[in-house]
Each structure stands twice: as C-alpha cells, then as structure tokens.
Amino acid sequence: MGKTRVTVTLDQDVEEWLQAASKGAGKSLSEVIRICLREYHDAQPNRFARTDKARSPSEDAWKRDRGPR
C-alpha cells in the first residue's frame, strides 16, 4: 500500500501533547502521529474497515448513520 499525504488541523491541547511526545521520544511529529494511529488500529482493528461503511454510498450517508454526536 502506498503512502498518502494528509493535512491535519489539531486542537491546541492535542497539538501540545503530540509535540511533547515528539520531543520526548526523539521522533518527528509525523512519526508520533503514525505511531498513535497504528496503536489505535491495533486496539480497534475493525473500527474503520471497509465493511463498516459498505452500506453507505457516501460520506454524508455515513455521517447520517452515525447520528448526532
């Protein structure tokens, strides 16, 4: 699978936490985010599986299925 470049806007408290984690681990911010996403995936491997959204033809339909948050 190829890499995909994304742009992320973070709340200030999340940004500060990730920056601190980055400095503490001696890794780039991007690497810390990749590590966090891998750990999340390992903890919940089916959370974003294609089969979860198969019944929804679009992002809007998927959001409606999730209901209000």
- pTM score above 0.85: no
Q: Which two tokens stand for residue 68?
A: 């209000």
- Is residue 32 within 8 Å of 20, Cβ to Cβ? no
Looking at residues 4-13, what average pLDDT do you find? 89
Per the CB < 8 A criterion, the answer to whether 56 and 48 are in contact is no
Q: Of 10, 40, 36, give the one whose Cα is nearest residue 22.
A: 36
- How large a percentage of the chain has pLDDT more than 90? 33
The string of pLDDT tens digits covering residues 38-59 is: 898 888 877 766 555 555 456 6
What pLDDT does residue 16 have? 94
Q: Is the pLDDT score of 18 beyond 80?
A: yes
First to last CA, the chain: 32
Q: How confident is the model at residue 15 (pLDDT cuts 50, 70, 90)?
A: very high
Task: Name the one residue in this structure whose structure tokens are 């992320």.
Answer: 8
